[in-house]
Structure 1
Amino acid sequence: MDSVELLLHPVRLRIVQAFLGDRTLTTSGLNAELGDVPPGSLYRHVARLVAADVLEVVAERRIRGTVERTYRLRQAAAQITPDRLATMSTEEHRRAFMAYIAGVMADFDRYLDRDEIDYVRDGVGYRMAGMWLDDTEFTDFLADLYGVLAPRLANEPAPGRTRRILRTIHLPDDAAVESESG
């Protein structure tokens, strides 16, 4: 199965997201987090991700005659490669972006469904900013951003730490380009 088809399925996308932050989970732990996904469906999607080497088994233990496996995300395998990205059709990019946006909306809905929410305490935010950057400045910006993120992405789970999801979108503003040339 193509990596685009594999990773952009809504349930598999949520499974991959659950493992972000170098987490390890059993299928029962995953089921507890994705309680709205029927267990049979969850097990089938986990099996597909294991078969594609996106998830790896890091531990096994016997429980009442069955084997419970603990999985971890193979980060490199859970991404669409730059080569594949370059060959995706416009329709595949639309589907990929729609899956991404649907994931953002679903995450926000789950947050809003909590019993107790506090936007400030929880660090919830969504913003938009426009920057005038040439290609070199934009490349430098991305390098700076990665420099800020890289050490934090390496953080291990620890008491007092909350796993936070950061999503980014970078797009050129066609209206700005048109007004420059016009």
Structure 2
Amino acid sequence: MTTLDLLLHPVRLRILRTFLDGHPATTAQLRERLPDIPPATMYRHVGALAAAGVLEVLDEKRVRGAVERTYRVSWQHAELGPEARAAMTTEDHRRAFTAFAGGLLADFDHYLATEPADPAADGVTYQQAALWLTDAEMAELVAEVHAAVTARLGRDPGDGRSRRMISLVGMPAEA
């Protein structure tokens, strides 16, 4: 199985998205966050991600005769590197972007279904901007955004914090 196929499976993609905030989780905690995924399916896909090195085991302990593992994402195995992205076909990119956009739509729909959704008070934003940038300037912008987001990963809930999803899409546009 290729890394792209591993990562783009809908169930595995949903599992990985629960780890976006940088916090580790057990399979039981994943099941609480994704209750619509049957337990056997959850264990099978967590096992596939762990076998591929995408999830790494932080801790193991015995719970009622079974071994409970705490996982975290190994981001160097969860992200496609430049070589893998360069090897992707147009159809691979279409599949990957469709999965990304589908995840955004699902997240936004879930948010709106939560009562009381108040986009203005919750700081919801979605916008586009057209910038004239060289390749080097685009790389610099992406690095700056990555650094700003990375600096805020792993913060704990509480102190008025709400879990927020930040997404970025950059692509050439016709003039």
TM-score normalized with structure 2 length: 0.91
Q: For residues 22-101 of structure 1, what are the structure 2 equivalents within 5 Å?
A: 22-101=22-101
Unaligned runs of 5+ in 2: none
Task: Please report how far the alpha carbon of residue 88 of structure 1 lies from its aligned counterpart in structure 2 after TM superposition.
Answer: 0.8
Name segments (4+ residues, structure 1) moved above 3 Å. none
Q: Distance in 1 between matches of 2:148 and 2:72?
A: 25
The 3 A distance-change label for structure 1 pair 65 and 144 is closer
Per mean C-alpha deviation after superposition, the further-off stretch among 116-125 and 49-58 is 116-125
User: What RMSD over aligned residues (CA atoms) do the two structures have, in Å?
Assistant: 1.6
C-alpha contact 1:10 1:103 (8 A) present in aligned 2:
no
TM-score normalized with structure 1 length: 0.88
Task: Please report how far the alpha carbon of residue 148 of structure 1 lies from its aligned counterpart in structure 2 after TM superposition.
Answer: 2.8
Secondary structure of 1:152's counterpart equals: coil
Q: Distance in 2 between matches of 1:51 and 1:9?
A: 15
Indicate the residue corresponding to 1:17 in structure 2.
17
Q: Distance in 2 between matches of 1:151 and 1:14?
A: 24
Paired amino acid for 1:138? M
C-alpha contact 2:57 2:71 (8 A) present in aligned 1:
yes
Task: Please report how far the alpha carbon of residue 158 of structure 1 lies from its aligned counterpart in structure 2 after TM superposition.
Answer: 4.3
Q: Distance in 1 between matches of 2:105 and 2:91?
A: 21
Secondary structure of 1:122's counterpart equals: coil
Q: Which of structures 1 and 2 has the bigger CA Rg?
A: 1
Q: Distance in 2 between matches of 1:127 and 1:164?
A: 16
Secondary structure of 2:69's counterpart equals: strand
Indicate the residue corresponding to 2:155 in structure 1.
156
Unaligned runs of 5+ in 1: 177-182
Secondary structure of 2:146's counterpart equals: helix
Q: Distance in 1 between matches of 2:24 and 2:148?
A: 25
Q: Distance in 1 between matches of 2:81 and 2:134?
A: 25
